[in-house]
Structures are given as C-alpha cells and as structure tokens.
Chain A
Amino acid sequence: MATDNPTSYADFPDARGHFGPYGGVFVAETLMAPLDELRAAYERYRADPEFLAELRADLKDYVGRPSPIYHAARLSGQLGGAQIYLKREDLNHTGAHKVNNTIGQALLARRMGKTRIIAETGAGQHGVASATVAARLGLECVVYMGEVDVARQEANVYRMRLLGAEVVPVRSGSKTLKDALNEAMRDWVTNVDDTFYIIGTVAGPHPYPMMVRDFQAVIGREAREQMLGRLGRLPDALVACVGGGSNAIGLFHPFLGDTDVAIYGVEAAGDGLQTGRHAAPLSAGRPGVLHGNRTYLMEDDDGQIIETHSVSAGLDYPGVGPEHAWLKDIGRARYVSVTDGEALAAFHLLTRTEGIIPALESSHAVAYAAKLAPQMRPDQSILINLSGRGDKDMHTVAAHEGLRL
C-alpha cells in the first residue's frame, strides 16, 4: 500500500505530530505547555532566513559540512556486486552525525532565551555533541547517562566533562539509554522555565521527531545532490543503521519520494532475534507508547518495557522513531537486522579494506550492505550512511578479541 505521491511524505507528521497511527504527544500535563512553546518557536525559526543562515554557516565552518561521499572501490570489488558509496558523517566534528541536530537545537534554545540545556545519551555521542555546542554557546549543560553506559563509555564521559558538562549517572531501571531519557524528562518537568531539552534522536513527543529529522535531513539532501553530480543518477539502495533512527531518517527523508530507490534500515539483532536478546523493535516488537510517542517497542505481555541487548550502545534502545514505524507499515522502507557478530565482522572488513574504522552502530549498516551488494549488479550502487567513527569503540572491540587496552 505504498503511496505513489512523492510530495506526500513531506506532509508528515500532521499538525499534532502523527505519522499515521504513530507519533503524537504522550506526556504528563506539565510538559504540554513547554512543548507548545517549542513547537511555536520551531515553526517560527524553521522559516526564518537569519536562523537558517546561522545554521548553514555553523554546519559549514564548525561541523565541516558538506561531508564527502566516498566510493569504497576495494570493498565493492571484494564483495563482487553493487558499487558501495559511504556518506562520511564520521568526518563531522565530534565524529558522528549527532552534531547536525545539537547545533540546530542549541541555536533554537538560545533564541528561546533558555540558559540551560539537558540531554540524554547512550553511547555518549549525543552527550558529547550536546556538551560541545553548549561549550561554544556558553550554556550550562547537564547530560543524563545510564550507569551501565557510564562504565562502558568512559572516554566519552571524560570528553563531556572536559567540555564543561555535568554528567549524571542514572541508577534507575535498567541503567541504560531509556532510563537516561526518563531522567532527562524528569529534569525538564522540574526546570521547564529555563531549560531546553535536546533530544538526540527522532523519538519523543512532537515536535521532536519532526524537528530532529529536519536537522538531520541535511545528510540526505547533500547525498542526493552528490550522487546525482557524481553518477548522474540516484543510488539504487540506501542503507543506514536504526536505533532511535536519526541518522537513518536524515539520509532517507529526502529520498522518500524517489520510489526507485530501495531503502533499508538495519536494526541491532544482538545475540540473534530468536534469542530475545536484541534491540530490534521494528523487526520483532509491537506498537505501544513510550517516551512521549506511539511506536514499535520491545515490551513484554504486561506492557512493561524490556531490556535490550546490542554490542553497540547507540542502538541499545527499546523504541524507535515513529516515522520509521510508519514507513515500515506503509512499505516505503524495509527494516532488517544484523547480529553483534555480523556487525563486528563488518567493522573489521571496512577497517581492513578501506582504512576507515566505523562506529559499531554504523558497522551494522556496513554488514547489511555487504549482504546486499553481491545480489546486485556492478553497475548498481548502494549508499551507506557511515554515521560515526569507531574511535569510541576501541575498548569494546578489543574486549571481544580478549584484549584489554
């Protein structure tokens, strides 16, 4: 039942934040007014030439955009099928796509007169990107991070502290990303007057899924132009990893109307979907309500959210952005999954064939593209969103090899 009208995708979400049955605003009453305020401010500034000019200048001079497209010729040759191209978000300042969004939201926070920003983080990439823009704009910054993640991402915790942010370990629930999000919401509800909550992914109550998508869509807009300029045509397939799904929607969104372009979102299958130890709500979950929106979730038969498992802390989240839930249902994107083992193999493959060390999150996309390419012709192309670099994952990968750094 995929729709044929290419302009229709830009019309979503509706005015109340719905993507079909997904999205919406499911929060306690105290947050309704600040969300209204945010929606109004975003509506105003998303069309404001001065705001957009400042955003563009920051993305160029501070982040280093546009990020290049790289033809992974040796990898393509080795896989013996489609040509693989990488959208190099790993080359951004702070090492991942996350900063595209934090720059946008922090500029908005400043225009709204907010003096304090808060953020949740899993792997620490969004926390670092938030602390970075806070340092640059002179805003107070508090980052909530699950205690388990604090322990496994020590280097990023130190980076955030260097940047002047306060990192608060969250000890409730499963002590990971979802609990960090709960705690950030609790902070926001307590400090709504002076605080701006920078959500790091395309989840949460409206307008966050739309706003974060819009800030990340620079990835897809650039990539579309770059591929057209280089090949004279669009890629045959897009591949991106999906945790909350911000890098994926950023790449996908400008291509949604190009119905000849196949779109693959890759979830984390952890130990394997059949084990139940994974983080793949679109592949193996069902719809429910968490963190302000209706979407696919990992939950038990009582409606309790269950713990997720992935080698990649950035994909270790039991929900997913509502727009992905909708794209799955209408059939415009396909959601697949790869295991920890497959992602680690792809990590090594890209590192050895191209000299590019990918983040474990992005390694999931590489792993799926490596399965897809041999099924395609050499004159076809796959564009992978290489959403981040792997420096932060050295300890995790080494531990899997039985080494301690």
Chain B
Amino acid sequence: MSRLAGRFAALRGAGRTALVPFITAGDPHRGATVPMMHALVAGGADVIELGVPFSDPMADGPVIQRASERALLHHTSLRDVLDMVRDFRRTDGQTPVVLMGYLNPIEVAGYGPFAEAAAAAGVDGVLTVDLPPDEGHELLQTLRGAGVDTIYLVAPTSGPERIARICAAASGFVYYVSLKGVTGAANLDLGPVAEKVAQIRGATALPVGVGFGIKDAETAAAVARFADAVIVGSAVVSRVEALADRPDEIPPALGELMSAMRRAMDAAGAEGGR
C-alpha cells in the first residue's frame, strides 16, 4: 500500500479528516523548507503538499505567486525540491509528501528521470496543475511505474463525464477545487461544494480532498464534515510571507496554525459530522 493510501486508510479508520497544508519549496529561502515541513507535521498535518516554484503560475492567486517569486530569487529548482524531500525523509518516513506544480520543469527534467528521482527522494504523489488527464497519459504511466501516485484536480465546472475520466486516472486522492478562481480566492459557498464532493464520491472510492479558498480553522472544520482532506495553501503561505524577514519564527507559527485547524476539525468530527 502506498504511503498516501495507508495514511488515508488509517485516518478513515479513526474517523478523522486529513489536514493537508501547502507550502512553496524554497520560500523564503532554501534552508527554511525542511524545518517548516517538520513543524507542520508536529502541529497536526497528515500530508504535506510541497509547491515546486514556477515562473508562470497561471492557476495561483497573488499569495502563492509571490511565494514562487521569492523561491525563484535564489533559483530553487525541481532538483532542489527533491533534495528537500530526501532531507525531510531522513527523520520522517511516515508523512506522505505530494509535489504540486506546473508541467514545464518536469518536461525539461524528462518524465523518466523525474519519476525515478522523485520516487527515490521519497515523494508519494505528483499533482501537475496544467496537465489534465487528457494530455497526461505518458507522465501518468511513468509516475505509476515508479510507484508515485498521480493526483488530479476536479473543478466546479467539471461535468459527470470529466469527473469519471479524472477519477479513472487518479490515484492517492482526488483534489476538488472548491471554487471558480485561483488559489486563495474569496469566500466559499459550502453547500455546492458538499454536493459536488458527493457527486465525486459516486465516481470513485478514492479519498476526496477539498482546497482553494480555505482561509481559517472555522472553514476547515466546516469542510472536514464532508471531505476526506482539507487542503490549506494561501492561508499557510501568507504566514510565511508575513515572517519572511524573521524566518526563525516561521516553524512555530505554522505549528500553531496547524494545531488550531486540527482542533477545530477534530471538534467538528466529534460532533458527528461524517
């Protein structure tokens, strides 16, 4: 069983929802990332999404765009990101790590070499934002061959046919984009999100995560009632940004943010949401 499948099975057994924070690798500097990952886990994160910086992050809002720019100021590359995962794995063999980014750095690295290097570094899944399953067959085969899960987005605009096609290509979990917009965009209307998640569940037995627009512990708790994973990106990255010139304070701040979200989500679970 893959690390992701094992983690989700254990959480499901315990009746808990996964908390999945996102940070951009190399933000605010390269040495900061691994301590931040450990702090996120200590605060209650179940899976870590690690953003691979890209010069043209078309699907991201201003917060994650700026994180990419900070990371690229000192040329954080895909190879550097894999080094960080390898470093993280020296003391954490359990927490699944998912890379999230854009296709072009992987195109340049080459699908085969990238898949092998990612698996060797301890990467569990890859989510390539601008690679829908329609174009992604070759990369999917290569990653799966190396034992790496392929995670895909489902959007509010995805109809039943697309949902079926995406779920057929996905492994690890399915990522539902909770709003029409970029990462970190405005307020969520939870009713339609819950409906869509139910629709996705009809198409797959994989866990369904929800992200884009989860700003605080309260929203995280509300989403935890119907999702298998709550993915929090911009809210985490904006903490990093606020402390970019005091990097020592970032890990404890992220730990606190995770604890608050964890507490709220577990309380929601205890009320018998799901």
Binding site for B on A (CB under 8 A): 16, 24-34, 172-173, 178-179, 182, 185-186, 189-193, 287-292, 294, 297, 299, 301-306
Contacts of A28 in B (CB 8 A): 58-59, 129-130, 132, 153, 155, 177
User: With A and B bound together, what is the CA distance between A185 and B107 in angstroms?
Assistant: 22
Nearest CB in chain A to that of B163: its residue: A29
Contact A26 B130 (CB under 8 A): yes
Residues from chain B with a CB closer than 8 A to the CB of A192 are 157, 180
Q: Is B121 an interface residue (CB 8 A)?
A: no
Q: Do A305 and B56 touch across chains, with their CB atoms under 8 A apart?
A: yes
Neighbouring B residues of A182 by C-beta, 8 Å? 56-58
Complex formed: what's the CA distance from A87 to B102 in Å? 40
- Cβ-Cβ contact count across A and B, 8 Å cutoff: 125
Please, could you name 19 A-B residue pairs with CB atoms under 8 Å apart, sorted by A?
A27-B130, A29-B157, A29-B166, A30-B59, A31-B157, A34-B157, A172-B62, A173-B55, A190-B182, A190-B185, A192-B157, A289-B103, A292-B130, A303-B54, A303-B106, A303-B108, A305-B55, A305-B56, A305-B104
| CB pair A173 B104 closer than 8 Å | no
- Verify A172–B69 contact, CB threshold 8 A: yes
Say whether, besides A173-B55, A189-B182, A30 and B177 are in contact (CB < 8 Å). yes
A179, closest chain B residue (CB): B56
Q: Which of B91-147 contact A (CB under 8 A)?
A: 102-109, 129-132, 134-135
User: What's the Cα separation between A73 and B159 when bound, in Å?
Assistant: 59
Residue numbers in B under 8 Å from A297 (CB-CB): 104
State how many angstroms separate the Cβ of B39 from the closest Cβ of chain A.
27
CB distance from A26 to the nearest CB of B (A): 5
**Structural contact, A289 and B58, CB atoms closer than 8 A:** no
Q: How far is the CB of B164 from chain A (nearest CB, A)?
A: 13
- B59-A189 in contact (CB<8A): yes
Contacts of A292 in B (CB 8 A): 130
Chain A residues with Cβ below 8 Å from B72 are 304
Q: Determine chain A's interface SS by DSSP, over half rule.
A: mixed
Least Cβ–Cβ distance between B234 and chain A, in angstroms = 13
Contact between B54 and A304 (Cβ–Cβ < 8 Å)?
Answer: yes
For the complex, give the distance between the alpha carbons of A185 and B65 in Å: 14
Contact of B155 among A24, A25, A33, A193 (CB under 8 A): A33
Does B199 make an interface contact (CB < 8 A)? no
Does chain A have a CB within 8 A of B61?
Answer: yes
Question: Are B135's CB and A25's CB within 8 A?
Answer: yes
Q: A186-B182, A304-B72 are in contact. Are A29 and B177 (CB under 8 A)?
A: yes
- Distance in angstroms from A143 CB to nearest chain B CB is 18
**7 A-B pairs with least C-beta separation:** A303-B105, A303-B108, A33-B157, A30-B155, A302-B77, A190-B181, A29-B153
Assembled-state Cα–Cα distance A28/B132 (Å): 7
User: Contact flags (1/0) for B48-60 with A, using CB distance below 8 Å?
Assistant: 0000001111110
Verify if B156 is at the interface (C-beta below 8 Å from A). Answer: yes
| Bound: A24/B134 CA distance, A | 9
Q: Please tell me if the beta carbons of B65 and A303 are within 8 angstroms of each other in the complex.
A: no
Besides the contacts A186-B181, A289-B130, what 8 more A-B pairs have beta carbons closer than 8 Å?
Answer: A26-B132, A26-B135, A30-B156, A30-B177, A186-B58, A190-B180, A294-B107, A304-B105
The residues of A that contact B69 with a CB separation of less than 8 Å are: 172-173
Nearest-CB distance from A36 to chain B (Å)?
A: 9
Q: How far is the CA of A19 from the CA of B236 in the complex (A)?
A: 41
Whether the pair A178, B56 counts as a contact (CB closer than 8 A) is: yes
Contact of B180 with A30 in the complex, beta carbons under 8 Å: yes
User: Distance in Å from the Cβ of A171 to the closest Cβ of chain B?
Assistant: 9
Tell me the residues in window 142-175 of chain B with beta carbons closer than 8 Å to chain A beta carbons.
Answer: 152-159, 162, 166
Determine if B227 is an interface residue (Cβ-Cβ < 8 Å).
no
Known A29-B177, A304-B55; judge A288-B153 contact (CB<8 A): no
Knowing A27-B130, A189-B180, the reply to whether A32 touches B185 (Cβ < 8 A) is no
Cβ of A29 and Cβ of B155 under 8 Å apart? yes
**Chain A residues positioned under 8 Å from B58 (CB to CB):** 27-28, 182, 185-186, 291
CB < 8 Å neighbour of B104 from A16, A27, A189, A290: A290
Query: Which residues of chain A have C-beta atoms less than 8 A from B75's C-beta?
Result: 302
For the complex, what is the distance from the CA of A36 to the CA of B177, rounded to whole Å?
19
| B59 A288 Cβ-Cβ under 8 A | no
Complex: how many Å from CA A238 to CA B204? 54
How long is the Cα–Cα vector from A339 to B214 in the complex, in angstroms?
49
B25 within 8 A of A: no
Task: Identify A303's interface contact among B104, B130, B134, B159, CB under 8 A.
Answer: B104
The answer to whether B162 touches A32 (Cβ under 8 A) is yes
Rounded to whole Å, the gap between the CB of A327 and the closest CB of chain B is: 21
- How many Å from the CB of A23 to the closest CB on chain B? 10
A24-B135, A27-B130, A29-B155 known; A173 and B56 CB under 8 Å? yes
If A32-B157, A289-B130 touch, whether A26 touches B103 (CB-CB below 8 Å) is yes
Q: What is the CB-to-nearest-CB distance from A323 to chain B, in angstroms, rounded to a whole number?
A: 17
- Rounded to whole Å, the gap between the CB of A264 and the closest CB of chain B is 28
**B231 located at the interface, meaning its Cβ lies under 8 Å from any Cβ of chain A in the complex:** no
Residue of B62, B129, B158, B182 ringed by the most chain A CB atoms within 10 A? B182
CA distance A25 to B177 in the complex (A): 19
Closest to A301 in B: B108
Q: Which residues of A contact B59 (CB under 8 A)?
A: 28, 30, 185-186, 189
Taken together as a complex, chains A and B put the C-alpha atoms of A173 and B177 apart, in Å, by: 24
In angstroms, Cα B185 to Cα A144, docked, is: 19
Chain A residue numbers with a CB within 8 Å of B105 are 302-304
Query: A31, A34, A172, A288: which contacts B108 (Cβ < 8 A)?
Result: A288
- B157 closest partner in A (C-beta): A33
On whether A26 and B56 interact (CB within 8 A), knowing A33-B157, A189-B181, A189-B182, the answer reads no
